[in-house]
Amino acid sequence: MQRAAMDPAEEPPSMLWGLDPVFSAFARLYVRDILVMTESTQVPGIYFYKLHPIYKVDVLGTVVYKRERDDFFCYGVDDGTGVINCLCWKNDLFKEEDPAPSGAQHSDGAQGGFNLVAELKKLRETQRSRCRLEIGELLRVRGPVKTSRQQREIMASTFYKVDDPVMAVQVAWMMDVPQLYRLCYDKPPQLQPDAAGDSPISVVGKATNIIKDFFKQKSVTRFRPYDVQDLLQPLIPCQPQTASADQLCCVTVAVKEPVAGPSACQQLRQLLKEALQVLQDEGVVYRKVKSQDEVYNVTARDTDLLIAVKDVIREDSRREKYAEKGCHILHVLSAVRQRHSLNVSKATLQLVLKSLECNSDIVSTSEDHYTAF
């Protein structure tokens, strides 16, 4: 059972709430759950559903209660699990009275039937009719949850009448929400800030991201492993040492006690090796020439490769054999390997093809087939 307020010990710190995607989304919770969510002790106005911080919600339901004032509508919305008040502010649509008298519209008939003033009036009327609902109509509301006078309310940031003559929208909603709960809301949020001692898989993931960011920032075209080695330094837990703090871990220093297991240097090299392998598998980098000298090309900035692929496709698209269907990706791959480098992988080629397609240099005619004009 939910308590009126969260136990402060259980509540995740507010700094980490942004890490939960549900916090930034309009959560499609059942009204029943919205009504019993516990309020945060750190920040009033934020609520918790199973440790997910909730700020704003999205509700679809039947209007069963209506109260109108000058400034707002208050609709009681029933979604089948609970009823909640939704405060829907009237915007300027309702405040402005139409100034033009209806007689003025007839004079513009000569303009060929399109009268801007009349159309605007119609638009405004339609907008108004979407906001004014009667009991029994279907309302969609999105907005933050507030508790006022002991009652939970939704302060609508968006609300509109839903036309649902054959209940398609309601049925879809009823099928979707349990899935959302199972996949998202009922799963505990991953709010732990990344700390040292993570599993090896995620460390390699972080390493590849660091290297990719480096490529982007410095517009790297080619590199050798030692160029990026130092970037991965922060990912390696430092060994305890007696020397001063600004000495690199790799430099041998007299340590108080010998530490078993791989040294920081070895860990770094191993991590680098794994990261480079992942990047090669993804096609982000490739080795144009396999030699003693370990030089990697960054696919995104390799203009020679780009031109080679473009030329292959352009020339072969002219041939009768490929004119209609386009060139298959494997054909392009073997041609590029002959022309440019034997070490171009399919993954690398796919990245190049994607960027060429984005630039409209080539067009894909069907799955895995490409052509140029």
- Nearest-10 Cα torsion for 343, 346, 350, 351: -40
Judged by CB under 8 A, does residue 238 bind another protein? no
Verify binding: residue 39, another protein, rule CB under 8 A: no
CB of 134 to another protein, least distance (A): 10
Residue type, 337: R
Full DSSP string of 274-326: HHHHHHHHHTSEE-SS-SSS--EEEGGG-HHHHHHHHHHHHHHHHSHHHHTT-
d(CA 79, CA 59): 8
**What phi and psi, each to the nearest 5 degrees, are found at residue 364?**
-90, 125
> Least Å distance between CB 174 and another protein?
4
* Residue 135 contacts another protein per CB under 8 A: yes
Q: CA 4, CA 34: separation in Å to the nearest integer?
A: 13
For another protein, how many residues bind (rule: CB under 8 A)? 28
Question: String of b and e for 227-258 (b: at least 16 CB within 10 Å)?
Answer: ebbeebeebbeeeebeeeeeeebbeeeeeeee
Neighbouring CB atoms inside 10 A of 95's CB total: 9
- Please, which residue, 149 or 256, has the CB nearer to another protein? 149
Q: Per CB under 8 A, does 166 bind another protein?
A: yes
Q: Does 78 bind another protein (CB under 8 A)?
A: yes
Nearest approach, Cβ of 290 to another protein (angstroms)?
55
User: Is residue 72 a contact point for another protein (CB under 8 A)?
Assistant: no
Q: Which of 128, 75, 68, 73 is nearest to 98 (CA)?
A: 128
CA angle 262–292–334, rounded 5-degree value:
110
State the nearest-atom distance from the C-beta of 16 to another protein, in Å: 24
Binding mask 269-308 for another protein (x = CB under 8 A): ----------------------------------------
The number of residues making up the chain comes to: 373
The residue within the footprint of another protein, chosen from 18, 24, 32, 251 (CB under 8 A), is 32
Position among 5, 117, 123, 171 found at the interface with another protein (CB under 8 A): 171
Nearer to another protein, 67 or 290 (CB): 67
Residue 83 binds another protein, judged by CB under 8 A: yes
Displacement of CA 24 from its chain's centroid (Å): 11
Interface with another protein, residue 167, by CB under 8 A:
yes
Q: How far is the CB of 135 from another protein (least distance, A)?
A: 6
Rule CB under 8 A: which residues touch another protein? 31-32, 62, 64-65, 76, 78-85, 135-136, 165-168, 170-171, 174-175, 177-178, 181-182
